[in-house]
Amino acid sequence: MSIFKFKQFEVDQTGCAMRINTDGVLIAAMVNHEKPKNILDIGTGTGVIALMLAQRFPEANIHAVEIDEQAAQTAGKNFQLSVFSERLTINHTSIEQYHHAQQFDLIVSNPPFFVNDLKSKQENKSIARHTSEQFFHDLIKKVNELLSATGTFWFVLPVKQAKQLINSGTQFGLYLNKQISLHSDKTKPEFRMIVCLSRSKVDLLTTQFYIYQTEKVYTEAYQNLLKPYFLGY
């Protein structure tokens, strides 16, 4: 099904290699900032993260960057059709080439993560899911350029790649503030990390988050987190 209906908006996924997924909706629901005025979503795909952030932060302007042309077009249409359209902007470009006059209070990314693995035969899916080690360096370098003095950078990645990006962040004065370990259930090891970096050195806050209570039964925490967005809750 190409159209995914949320409580306050709809997301058409036509032509998008990376469709709506758990990583994206969880980071959009978990990121935190007191009152962000300018938000940047790097690698927006369908635009779902940007749309959820527009719902969460009604006073913020959200800019989204997407390198894939078809995905950028689809995200742009999703933005235009939403009630948040006046606060959403799509930019069809790579993050390396992206420029903005103002810095951002909140930067969020669900980036590609298969480093140096076998590439997909579908070019757009390959762009969406695969990357190189140089990409992480370039990403954190650009985030450092675009992040305001009191801003936070949130991302979601598999554990190995998350640690790599955390280490890269310290080279630019971006420090680990919060780390959320995502687990399928209490019997499974963490499969993703949601991470918050900022320019401030603070005590690290670590938490665990479990998606399933039992097979196909979501935890109460998962349901409560996504209740403002999903029709089923």
DSSP string, 171-200: TTT-EEEEEEEEESSTTS---EEEEEEESS
- Token readout for 191 is 């499969």
Rounded to an integer, the average pLDDT of 12-38 is: 92
Full set of structural domains in the chain with CATH: 3-226 (3.40.50.150)
Rounded to an integer, the average pLDDT of 16-37 is: 92
Lowest-pLDDT range, 7-16, 60-69, 107-116? 107-116
Is the pLDDT score of 114 beyond 90? no
- DSSP symbol at 118: P
Is the pLDDT score of 99 beyond 90? yes
Compute the mean pLDDT over every residue in the chain, rounded to the nearest whole number. 91
State the Cα–Cα distance between residues 219 and 185, nearest whole angstrom: 9
State the Cα–Cα distance between residues 145 and 66, nearest whole angstrom: 18
Which spans in the chain are helix H?
22-30, 48-56, 69-80, 123-129, 133-146, 159-170, 220-226
Task: Give residue 196's pLDDT.
Answer: 98
pLDDT band of residue 17 (cuts 50, 70, 90) is confident
Task: Give residue 1's pLDDT.
Answer: 58
Torsion from C-alpha of 98, 101, 103, 109, nearest 10 degrees: -20
Residue 207 pairs in a beta bridge with 180
Sorted by sequence, the CB contacts under 8 Å of residue 190 that are 6+ apart come out as: 159, 181, 182, 183, 208
Write the pLDDT tens digit of every residue in 47-75: 999 999 999 999 999 999 999 999 999 99
Residue 3 pairs in a beta bridge with 12
State the Cα–Cα distance between residues 165 and 155, nearest whole angstrom: 9
- Global confidence as pTM: 0.91
Task: Give residue 116's pLDDT.
Answer: 45
Rounded to an integer, the average pLDDT of 164-183 is: 96
pLDDT band of residue 133 (cuts 50, 70, 90) is low
State the Cα–Cα distance between residues 52 and 73, nearest whole angstrom: 18
State the Cα–Cα distance between residues 87 and 82, nearest whole angstrom: 10
Rounded to an integer, the average pLDDT of 11-38 is: 92
Which spans in 108-219 are helix H?
123-129, 133-146, 159-170
